[in-house]
Amino acid sequence: MELPWQQAKIILHSQRLLKSFQHWTGKQLIDVNASPIEMSQALFKAPFVLVSHGTEVDPIFNYGNHQALELWELSWEDFTKMPSRKTAEEIVQQERDRLLAEAATQGFSYFSGVRITSTGKRFHIQDGILWNLIDEQHKYCGQAAVYSECSFIT
């Protein structure tokens, strides 16, 4: 069975994640001096959480690296069917919506906040970055988030 990072559409999506991040922040997520498949693998196996969703009315995750899948306790198949709003409790939905709108207008935004796993465990994200994804024609194609600092709330 082919791993997610080996799929042609995910290799392309990985390129969009990297290029969009650099476009908005001026920084690199990983070393980009590698082949597209090597970069796709490096993103999937990176020591940080990386997720993205599409442009649906109720956006659905279209990417979650290994750290994200472990954190949310989901398989690739289940994660990529889940609306991204399900990662935030109702009480913080308004703040999450504000953050998404801010990133949509500015290109990217820094964030912290509480999210919830698929099994109901709550965790706090610190120093996250949310950014707009753009395709090869510079058209908006979703949003992504990255963070390496999070702690479970007991």
How many domains, in total, are found in the chain?
Answer: 1
The pTM (predicted TM-score) of the whole model is: 0.93
pLDDT value at 38 more than 90: yes
The 3-class secondary structure across 75-133, one letter per residue, is: CHHHHCCCEHHHHCCHHHHHHHHHHHHHHHHHCEEEEEEEEECCCCCEEEEEEEEEEEE
Q: Which residue has the tokens 């801010």?
A: 102
Residue numbers of the domain that contains 104:
4-152
CATH code of the domain in which 69 resides: 3.30.450.20
Res 49: pLDDT: 97
Local confidence band at 24 (pLDDT 50, 70, 90 cut-offs): very high
Res 1: pLDDT: 66
Provide mean pLDDT across the span 41-59. Answer: 96
User: pLDDT exceeding 90 applies to what percent of the chain?
Assistant: 79
Res 145: pLDDT: 97
Local confidence band at 103 (pLDDT 50, 70, 90 cut-offs): confident
List 118's β-bridge partners, or say none: none
User: pLDDT exceeding 70 applies to what percent of the chain?
Assistant: 99
The rounded mean pLDDT for the chain is 93
Residues 70 and 49: beta-carbon distance below 8 Å: no
Res 134: pLDDT: 96
